[in-house]
Amino acid sequence: MRSKRQHLALCGMILLLGTLVVGARVVGARVVGARAAAQTAASQATPPSWKLVWSDEFNAPNGSAVDASKWASETGGAGWGNDELESYTGRLKNASQQDGNLVIAVLQEKYTGADGIARNYTSARLKTQGKFSQTYGRFEARIKIPRGQGIWPAFWMLGDDIDKPGWPACGEIDIMENVGKEPAMVHGTIHGPGYSGSAGPSSAYSLAADLRFADNFHRFAVEWEPNAIRFYVDDHLYATRTPADLPKGTKWVYDHPYFLLLNVAVGGGWPGSPDETTVFPQTMLVDYVRVYERDRSSAPSSSKH
């Protein structure tokens, strides 16, 4: 397997030679289903007008824990405000690095954590709180999500002042959420004071009917600037949120640093519980997480990056 550095070099050579050909299916005005090989190569390039400032490429030796200088594990089984059924752990069996990916493994097992709560499922929830946060920029991850009824993967952000005003006053940006009963659909949502939970302004992005997000890696990103948050799947802009989208009298709280989270929940009010069709274990593979800031040497662009 080539390293990501080799992929970057290869991608540059291919682009210079003009031999990169991307096959795609057109559905309405939306392009989906790009060939996996071309998508993988293209995903390595820095988006135009953005400068990389933080990343985790998950290239540590197989079986390594996540980089503790970048990520902290949240643990416990108290439902996390959503009536979830898993206990999050800090164990390697639930979060480790393998073949250039972060692997979050969802297991069906009897487990009682340090909080004394017994659960029948375990998973992992990782965050950069206290280690990295940023105001504005492009926040992107390349992920192959798990599948199945009751499985709930997410890549998201929380305001780093959460310990003061609490949630939802700190703000939340859900870059990607999927509920297993919707295998071809992901959601991008914002939550804040007066518009949280099901009231959070949200949009969905769907693949063609015969495609599933769990079958391949996809890139999920937001481009966040003052008074605008744009949501992307595989570089296709599908939603833009501005203060005009908020309920009257509520506050736009996206003007301070946010930290990143990755997790896979089991059950909860939105996805519902696993059933007889749900297969365990399930895994979420994360190829990379990258954060950019606007490259001021390039003129800002409204194009879809």
Q: How far apart are CA 246 and CA 242, in angstroms?
A: 8
The closest of 239, 218, 238, 219 to 228, measured between CA atoms, is: 239
Which runs of E-coded beta strand occur in 124-215?
125-127, 137-144, 151-159, 172-177, 185-191, 202-206
CB 103 within 8 A of CB 94: no
Q: Which pairing describes strands 258-266 and 282-294: parallel, antiparallel, or unpaired? A: unpaired
Candidates 86, 177, 276, 293; catalytic one: 177
Q: How far apart are CA 18 and CA 26, in angstroms?
A: 23
CA atoms 296, 300, 301, 302: torsion sign: positive
Both tokens of residue 7? 């992929």
How many residues in the chain? 305
Candidates 172, 182, 276, 293; catalytic one: 172
CB 282 within 8 A of CB 39: no
The closest of 79, 106, 138, 107 to 263, measured between CA atoms, is: 106
Q: How far is CA 193 from CA 133, 154, 190, 198, 274, in A?
A: 21, 21, 10, 13, 31
Number of other residues whose CB lies within 10 A of the CB of residue 8: 15
Is residue 177 annotated as a catalytic residue, yes or no?
yes
Beta bridge partners of 88: 76, 123
> What amino acid is encoded at 97 in this protein?
Q
Q: How far apart are CA 304 and CA 26, in angstroms?
A: 17
The closest of 264, 240, 265, 268 to 254, measured between CA atoms, is: 240
| Catalytic sites, residue numbers | 172, 177
